[in-house]
Amino acid sequence: MGYEPFVRRELEGLAEVLGPEKNGGDSDNVLRNLPEWLETFPADLVHLNCGLHDIKRPFGSSSNGIPRFQYADNLRQIFSHLVAHKIPVIWATSTPVDEKLHHQNKSFDRFEADLEHYNATALEACREFGLEVDDLFGLIERAGKSAYLLDDGVHFKPEGYQLLGREVARVIRAALEKLRLK
């Protein structure tokens, strides 16, 4: 994850930040690999997102890589697994894209409207499970996505990853404090 080194540095001495070496990919992949990841990285808390890989569309297609109904089902299964293992979960909304830049520089599309629908779907599932939400989408929108996105329209400049990392660390720090007070 591009912002993970910033999170690790911000939480040094407070929490050990662990995660898969490769990007988790779409929600199918997260669901499939979650048991192994939890075995490899025992967790006291999970900060999680998937969605940007789910909304991928081949050029000219009207179908997302993972249909929204399947995305919703995958998230419910992921959340159920984590809750069953009594692991607190913080869901991060998917970050904004610049669909024009993305279309010009990638071999597939990601559309802002799809992202809005998938974020809304994820938030609905979070409400069902009573999960905390880290609104990374809102953070980047308020900060001005054009100042932070690379020319591919989806990845971030170092200062964007730093902004995201600080926010993620802030939310994790607060959640860990709540857990310690229980």
Query: Residues of 75-111 as b/e, b for ≥16 C-beta within 10 angstroms?
Result: beebbeebeeeeebbbbbbbbbbbbebbeeeeeebbb
Q: Is 129 exposed, middle or buried (0-12, 13-18, 19+ CB in 10 A)?
A: middle
Tell me, what's the pLDDT at 182? 62
> How far is Cα 28 from Cα 112, in angstroms, rounded to an integer?
21
HSE toward the beta carbon, residue 38, CA cutoff 13 A = 22
Determine the pLDDT at residue 20.
84
Q: Which fold has domain 4-181?
A: Rossmann fold (3.40.50)
- Tell me which of 18 and 107 has the higher pLDDT: 107
Q: Give the three-state DSSP class for 35.
A: helix
Residue 115 sits at the vertex; the CA angle it makes with 91 and 53, to the nearest 5 degrees, is 75
pLDDT tens, position by position, 111-135: 999 999 999 999 999 999 999 999 9
146-177 confidence digits (pLDDT tens): 999 999 999 999 999 999 999 999 999 999 99
Instruction: Specify the residue for token string 């999680």.
Output: 48
Q: What is the pLDDT of residues 37-95, one digit of tens each?
A: 999 988 999 999 999 999 999 999 999 999 999 999 999 999 999 999 999 999 999 99
Give residue 21's pLDDT band: very low, low, confident or very high (50, 70, 90): confident
